[in-house]
Structure 1
Amino acid sequence: MKLLIDAGNTRVKWALTDGAVLCDEGVVTHDFAHELAERWAGLTLEAAWGASVARPTIRDAVEAACPVPVRWMSSERQRGGVTNHYRNIAEQGVDRWMAVLAARARLPGQDVVLASAGTALTVEALTAEGDYLGGLILPGFALMLKSLAAGTAQLDRLAGQWEPFPQATPDALASGALDAMAGAIERLRRRLAEQTGRAPATLVLTGGDAERLLPLLAPPCVIMDNLVIHGLLRVANET
Structure 2
Amino acid sequence: MTFLAIDVGNTRLKWALYPSAKGNAVPMAQGAEFLDNIEKLSEGAWANLPAPTQMLGCIVAGDAVKRRVQEQMEIWDLAPHWVVSSAEEAGLTNGYDHPTRLGADRWVAMIGAWHRGLAQGPASPMVVVMVGTAVTVEAIDASGKFLGGIILPGHGIMLRALESGTAGLHVPTGTVREFPTNTSDALTSGGTFAIAGAVECMVKHVRTHCGTEPKCFMTGGAGWKMAPSMSVPFELAENLIFDGLLEMAARRFQGKQTASAQII
TM-score if structure 2 supplies the norm length?
0.87
Is 1:139 matched with 2:146? Answer: no
Q: Which residue of 1 aligns with 2:63?
A: 56
How far apart are the structure 2 equivalents of 1:69 and 1:185?
38
How far apart are the structure 2 equivalents of 1:197 and 1:150?
43
Q: Which residue of 1 aligns with 2:242?
A: 229
Give a deviation string over 1:141-190, Cα, whole Å, max 9, x none.
Answer: 11100111111122222130111111100000001101111111110110
Q: CA deviation at 1:40?
A: 2.0
Is 1:156 matched with 2:161? Answer: no
4+ runs deviating over 3 angstroms: none
Q: Which runs of 5+ in 1 are unaligned?
A: none
Q: CA deviation at 1:56?
A: 2.2
Contact (CA 8 Å) 2:138, 2:149: kept in 1 or not? Answer: yes
Q: Which residue of 2 aligns with 1:86?
A: 96
Give a deviation string over 1:180-237, Cα, whole Å, max 9, x none.
Answer: 11111110110011101112x1211111221221122234211001211111111111
Please give the root-mean-square deviation of Cα atoms over the aligned residues, in Å.
Answer: 1.2
Give the aligned residue type for 2:104.
V
Give a deviation string over 1:61-97, Cα, whole Å, max 9, x none.
Answer: 1101112121011111111211110111121110000
TM-score if structure 1 supplies the norm length?
0.96
Q: Which residue of 1 aligns with 2:105?
A: 95
Give the aligned residue type for 1:100.
M
Q: Which residue of 2 aligns with 1:214?
A: 227
Q: Which residue of 2 aligns with 1:2?
A: 3
Give a deviation string over 1:16-40, Cα, whole Å, max 9, x none.
Answer: 0112322211100011011121232
Does the residue aligned with 1:70 lie in a helix, a strand or coil?
coil
Is 1:36 matched with 2:41? Answer: yes
How far apart are the structure 2 equivalents of 1:36 and 1:105?
31
Out of 145, 166, 187, the residue aligned to residue 201 of structure 2 is 187
How far apart are the structure 1 equivalents of 2:79 and 2:167?
49
The answer to which of 225-234 and 99-108 deviates more is 225-234
Contact (CA 8 Å) 2:17, 2:52: kept in 1 or not? Answer: no
Q: Which residue of 2 aligns with 1:176?
A: 190
Q: Which residue of 2 aligns with 1:45?
A: 52
The answer to which of 203-212 and 134-143 deviates more is 203-212
Q: Which runs of 5+ in 2 are unaligned?
A: 253-264
Contact (CA 8 Å) 2:6, 2:56: kept in 1 or not? Answer: yes
Q: Which has the higher strand share?
A: 1
Tell me the number of residue pairs that the alignment of Structure 1 and Structure 2 aligns: 238
Give a deviation string over 1:93-117, Cα, whole Å, max 9, x none.
Answer: 1000000000001002122111100
Give the aligned residue type for 2:47.
A
